[in-house]
């Protein structure tokens, strides 16, 4: 069964550094999402992406965040200047005409 | 915007008993309600979903009910087993045409423990 994949599984960075989280959605899906989950808390929506542009974004997704689909398979989330409070698990998801499938997540730790 | 409340935050049951988790939502335009199971350190996995044109859906030991008037939906797990132990999240999709393409707003989760 096809799965969403994410790399790296764990990223440690210094505050103020840029990070890029990578995702490979399921190949025939058209809708892509990023969510984050702070340890022990609920999953929070960040951004959705369709037809090579952002379709929705939350208040969390401020100017420090950006997304890109640089080629036909990858979907990336960039955090330009990380803050301590960006430490969380970041999940990529993709969907076709049915359910959203989540990737295994990238745990981001900002020191 | 949409807000989803979920109760209880923790639930402990004996193996074989039933478990019920309840969620309420605020946006009457929401039309898709999935439930995800998340085991420790793993990705959320969809276990069942319901659309607003349906009142109840069942899949083996799992069922979901939706009351659009009251804006609440519930997850029912019967004959619970230790492997059902996990965190369960409800979610609502605020708007759209009935598919699952929009963003999901999640509840805070219910940690279910099934004791053998």
Residue A61 near chain B (CB below 8 Å)? no
Helix or strand (DSSP H, E) at A101: strand A100-102
What is the pLDDT at residue B96? 55
Nearest to A31 among B89, B91, B101 (CB): B101
What is the pLDDT at residue B97? 47
* Residues on chain B touching A88 (C-beta within 8 angstroms): none
Query: What is chain A's percent helix, strand, coil content, to nearest 5?
Result: 5, 50, 45
| A90: pLDDT strictly greater than 60 | yes
Angle at A41 between CA A109 and CA A78, to 5 degrees: 40
Which of B101, B107, B110 is most worth mutating to test chain A (most A CB atoms within 10 A of its CB)? B101
- Give A71's pLDDT tier (boundaries 50, 70, 90): confident
What is the pLDDT at residue B103? 87
Give the integer Cα–Cα distance in Å for A57 and A65. Answer: 10
CA–CA distances in Å: residue B107 to residues A55, A70, A75, A87, B16: 22, 32, 26, 20, 26
Beta bridge partners, B78, equal: none
* Residues on chain A touching B99 (C-beta within 8 angstroms): 97-98
Residue B103 near chain A (CB below 8 Å)? yes
Nearest to A102 among B44, B102, B103 (CB): B44
Helix or strand (DSSP H, E) at B4: strand B4-7
Nearest to A99 among B42, B49, B105 (CB): B49
What is the pLDDT at residue B101? 65
| B64: pLDDT strictly greater than 50 | yes
| A62: pLDDT strictly greater than 50 | yes
Min Cα–Cα distance to chain A from B93, Å: 11
Least confident of A29-33, A84-88, A106-110: A29-33
CA–CA distances in Å: residue A77 to residues A11, A33, A66, B53, B75: 13, 10, 6, 35, 33
Residues 6+ apart with CB under 8 A from B12: B112, B113, B114, B115
Min Cα–Cα distance to chain B from A105, Å: 7
What is the pLDDT at residue A63? 94
């Amino acid at each position: 069964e096809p799965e969403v994949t994410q790399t790296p599984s764990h990223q440690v960075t210094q505050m103020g550094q840029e990070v890029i989280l990578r995702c490979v959605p399921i190949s025939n899906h058209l809708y892509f999402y990023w969510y984050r989950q702070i340890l022990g808390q609920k999953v929070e929506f960040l951004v959705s992406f369709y037809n090579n542009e952002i379709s929705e974004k939350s208040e969390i997704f401020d100017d420090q965040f950006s997304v890109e689909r640089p080629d036909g398979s990858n979907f990336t989330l960039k955090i330009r200047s990380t803050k301590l409070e960006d430490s969380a698990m970041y999940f990529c998801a993709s969907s076709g005409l049915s359910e959203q499938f989540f990737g295994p997540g990238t745990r981001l730790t900002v020191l | 915007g949409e807000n989803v409340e979920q109760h209880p935050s923790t639930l402990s049951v004996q193996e074989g008993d039933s478990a019920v988790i309840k969620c309420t939502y605020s946006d009457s335009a929401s039309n898709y309600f999935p439930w995800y199971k998340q085991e420790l350190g793993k990705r959320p996995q969809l276990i069942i979903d319901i659309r607003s044109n349906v009142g109840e859906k069942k899949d083996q030991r799992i069922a979901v009910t939706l009351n659009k008037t009251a804006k609440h939906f519930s997850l029912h797990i019967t004959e619970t087993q230790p492997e059902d132990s996990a965190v369960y999240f409800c979610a609502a999709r605020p708007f759209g045409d009935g598919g699952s393409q929009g963003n999901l707003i999640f509840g805070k989760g219910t940690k279910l423990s099934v004791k053998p």
